[in-house]
Chain A
Amino acid sequence: MRYLGLGDADRRAMLASIGVGSIDALYRDVPASAILKTPVDLPNHQGEMEVECAIAALAARTLPAGDVPCFLGAGAYRHHIPAAVDHLIQRGEFLTSYTPYQPEISQGTLQALFEFQTQVALITGMEIASASHYDGATACAEAVLMARRLTKRTGAVVSGALHPHYRDAIATNLRFLDARPVWLEPAPLADEDLAARIDATTACVVVQNPDVFGRLRDLAPLAEACHAKGALLVVAVTEAVSLGLVEPPGAMGADIVAAEGQSIGNGLSFGGPYLGLFATREKFVRQMPGRIAGETVDADGRRGWVLTLSAREQHIRREKATSNICTNSGLCALAFTIHLALLGETGFRRLAEINHATAVRLADRLARLPGVRVLNDTFFNEFAVRLPRPAAPVVEALARRGILGGVPGPRLFPDRPELADILLVAATETVSEADIETFATALAEAL
């Protein structure tokens, strides 16, 4: 019971102070029939070493992406995280503090959030950003809800090349609201005419860039078409490192950017916790969901930071709030901020360039394999290839050889048999020339 602050003598003394004979007296408001007569059927307490052994045994029954050639992406990317990031986020003052409700003793968290908001605004090319959401998919769903509030329209036109998890998060969030979303079909090289689908009920168009198949698009014409028809443009980004090299959504006219920030500062962690980035125009701020840090001064006139614009939030507005969000991804946002501070302008752009260059070399190498076709004309660090046979068993065969060889189409699109032969492959700065060769050789043999 190493984590408990009290000993038996303390407990006895405290019960005596309270004036009760036993702890049971303090539970007297619980209906007697609901008090457990016997302990719950779980093992008793264990020492640190025993717990470590048991959980390490589970960890031993996996193939860590960090240890092998890994070409997986589709919304989660293996990047190198500088050692300083994890050291700093584990400082107890960051790790073990709550949401900064008392700003005078939370300036560290608040200033870091203000820096985070600025970094997110800068890399997305937007004016302002929130203090984070759970992940990119929930940020994207919140963006659609925000567009509904801003336009007083109900529907959304959603690109087929939006990550299916993002698409599903939108669908789930709209499920019980009055909305008739238009879902386009997923297809790797489709030239979607999203603008043609906008009507008087369309609150927003949702696209992803680079899209789930890795393709890059100039969104400026779509932004113009949206605005001409009174709709907003929501742009999802699932690989934040792309913003170091690719024209950002803000520069192309996006109204809301919902992005996954995991790539910067945050490990893969089997899918979470991740980090939703949410950026928009300043004039929309009062409809923006989630916490926001803002600058102010203290009683001595010194600059400081507080959580602000809380009149949007659930603890003030209750059922009229912009969102129900409370806890978000504070520590993940801090990791992002530290990693991006280390990279700076030079490092961030170079990191993105290395990712792209590595992916280009991978694409060129895979294109030389018989029967393998690289589908993308454009990409950042991920692209789609068509294999001469179903991709899922190929990926399984590669995994048996210790290679994580991409995401097969059916994993993302289980109900789309026409995408069964599609394989999404990503290459970050962590992929070496030798990894590419190992992968290409093994893939050729697996086909």
Chain B
Amino acid sequence: MESRATISGNRGLMIEEPLIFEIGSDGRCGVDLPEPPAHKDRLGGMRRKATIGLPGLSEPQVVRHFTRLSQKNYAIDSGIYPLGSCTMKHNPRLNEKLARLPGLGGLHPLQPESTVQGALELIDTLARWIKILTGMPAVAMSPGAGAHGELCGTMTIRAALDARGDARKVVLVPDSAHGTNPATAAMCGYSVEPIPSNRRGRVDLAALKARLGGDVAAFMLTNPSTCGLFEDEILEQAAAVHAAGAFFYCDGANFNAIAGRVRPGDLGIDVMHLNLHKTFSTPHGGGGPGSGPVVLAESLAPFAPLPWVVHGPGGFGLVECAAGAASRSIGRLKSFHGQFGMFVRALAYMMSHGADGMRQASEDAVLAANYVRIALEDVMSAPYPGPCMHEMLFDERFLKDTGITTLDFAKAMIDEGIHPMTVYFPLVVHGAMLIEPTESESKASLDRFIDVMRALVERAKSGDAAWFHDAPRHAPRRRLDETRAARNPVLRWRPAGSTASAGQVPADKATA
């Protein structure tokens, strides 16, 4: 422990906070509820027998607990968050306010359509904006996040191929792809084969062409790529994919670099998911909720998942049944009509920016990333030459012989009050550092970031490895033992003295 340890373990504003289970007491309650009205129960003997074990806390205890927890989090509200491929841009508060309007946030999903016309129009409007921005004819709004959108898009491809009796078995994925891409392809019954990158960090077109054939269902590309580069041979890729009878899937996680300037529909793409929590700034909330609408070419649109929002003479309506025009739909992917609360926020973002602002935001994101690239590339090591798109990839060659890893470097950034960039992704370079400043940062903020990065590099190269190995020193916690967490998983609180495994039913031998 630190030699200057305090009596309480607290350090000024950084206050140690136990679990709610350790501060609660029996019988306390933070909500005043009336006595239940008199009634004779209809539970048919299915009343809960055992106590649950939830702690009791007053409202002030709860508010203080979660306030203290919040203070242990870094956030885009507190500082630059250059987490590559994650697009941590500013989250406007107007969007929060609008999502909470009773006429939107207070709607039940199964109200009669006649009572939710404004909400259906909002979905339809957002869909129209998305179609115009992407230059694609159709969009499926219901997927719950980007990976769910990938699942949706890949399923529509599979359904379209099945409909033409074309039993293709393979999905091609670049070696730099997000892990969700191969995982998704596998969930649709496809085997996955990687396509290597070339020396310029792009998909090796010759390798792609060589592998394409009658057994390939789709090629899944991320563009701009996870190396922060625009795939400059994308038109040739599209032509080759289509010539082989396959579909061209684009992971749209990085659409924020080109929105308003380039339309994926003009690049030969057949299907692409968007991450509303990236490009369109719906807050990421410490891990969701996201929203992953999927734009579709005409050839895939009939297979879009339910529900569909449609507009007829009587107003807006929902197609919730795979019949009629929707008879070829892949079906429902989740309950109800998608992440509606995220739709409200995304539409507010898009309307606030407008056509000119979205284009400016894309350009500013690209400008900021290139500004950082130029300012750091003489001291760090870039595997591929620029210009980059909205994010800049470095590798760890500049740390060679220092005894310092990418992880050590990232942890030292934490002590400087900067959230580290994405590390060890993409997998195509050693010790990847993927920096995405976004359009939200001021020039002064970018300059401070650059100054700190250059100073850290200098310190690393000066041989002060211990500085990095010990980092972080000033975070709420020092380096956490992830190996221990995985080897001996403790995944929930249990009262002192209880056994680790308290299964109430004998182990099932068939499935152990």
Contacts and interface: CB of A to CB of B under 8 A. Distances in A.
| Nearest 8 Cβ contacts at the A-B interface | A271-B336, A331-B285, A59-B103, A92-B77, A271-B109, A330-B287, A61-B118, A134-B144
B359 to A, nearest CB: 7
Contact of A107 (B375, B476, B486): B476
B124 to A, nearest CB: 10
Given A10-B443, A31-B235, A62-B115, A56 B339 contact: no
Contact of B289 (A40, A273, A345): A273
Contacts of A28: 387
Interface stretch (B93-101, B208-216, B453-461): B93-101
Interface string A57-87: 1111111111100101011101000101011
Contacts of A15: 367
Interface in A85-129: 86-109, 111-115, 117-119, 121-123, 125, 127-129
A352 to B, nearest CB: 8
Interface stretch (B293-301, B398-406, B477-485): B477-485
B152 to A, nearest CB: 9
Contacts of B277: 327
A75 B366 CA distance: 43
Contacts of A178: 189
A342 B476 contact: no
A36 B261 contact: yes
B320 interface: yes
Contacts of B104: 55, 58-59, 62, 269-270
Contacts of A74: 110
28 contacts: A3-B89, A4-B364, A30-B232, A40-B263, A40-B358, A43-B355, A58-B118, A65-B107, A76-B108, A107-B72, A111-B72, A231-B510, A269-B104, A270-B116, A272-B109, A272-B337, A296-B481, A296-B484, A308-B485, A319-B186, A341-B65, A345-B51, A348-B52, A349-B52, A356-B39, A361-B37, A377-B42, A414-B323
B312 interface: no
A53 B375 CA distance: 43
A315 B425 contact: yes
B340 A272 contact: yes
B204 interface: no
A64 B28 contact: no
A297 B480 contact: yes
Contact of A334 (B180, B285, B368): B285
A104 B336 contact: no
Contacts of B49: 247, 251
| Interface SS majority for chain B | loop
B73 A30 contact: no
A302 B88 CA distance: 30
B69 interface: yes
Nearest to B17: A111
Contacts of B355: 39-44
A29 B232 CA distance: 5
**Interface core residue of B110, B117, B132, B422 (most chain A CB under 10 Å):** B110
Contacts of B281: 3
Nearest to A352: B48
A324 B180 contact: yes
Contact of A353 (B36, B263, B491): B36
**Interface core residue of B54, B116, B373 (most chain A CB under 10 Å):** B54
Given A29-B230, A94-B285, A273 B291 contact: yes
B55 A94 contact: no
Contacts of A25: 387
A24 to B, nearest CB: 9
Given A137-B335, A414-B323, 6 more contacts: A6-B439, A52-B97, A61-B118, A99-B286, A319-B192, A414-B320
B21 A118 contact: yes
Given A17-B374, A270-B116, A331-B285, A104 B480 contact: yes
Contacts of A328: 145, 287-289
Interface in A179-221: 216-218
A399 interface: yes
A382 B363 CA distance: 53
A178 to B, nearest CB: 8
Contact count band on B:
35 or more
A325 interface: yes
Contact of A176 (B189, B231, B353): B189
B407 to A, nearest CB: 10
A125 B481 CA distance: 29
Given A98-B88, A318-B192, A323 B183 contact: yes
A411 B128 CA distance: 26
A97 B59 contact: no
B477 A34 contact: no
B83 interface: yes
Contact of A244 (B21, B48, B332): B48
Contacts of B47: 245-247
A96 B91 contact: yes
A23 B83 contact: no
B289 A327 contact: yes
A45 B356 contact: yes
**Interface core residue of A306, A344, A350 (most chain B CB under 10 Å):** A344
A33 B289 contact: no
B98 A52 contact: yes
Contacts of A33: 235, 266
A347 to B, nearest CB: 4
Contacts of B192: 318-319
A21 interface: no
B341 A269 contact: yes
B481 A298 contact: yes
A297 B481 contact: yes
B361 to A, nearest CB: 6
B91 A395 contact: no
B475 interface: yes
Interface string B467-480: 00010100111111
B205 interface: no
Given A34-B263, A62-B116, A84 B59 contact: yes
A267 B335 contact: no
Contacts of B65: 341
Interface in B314-345: 320-321, 323, 330-342, 344
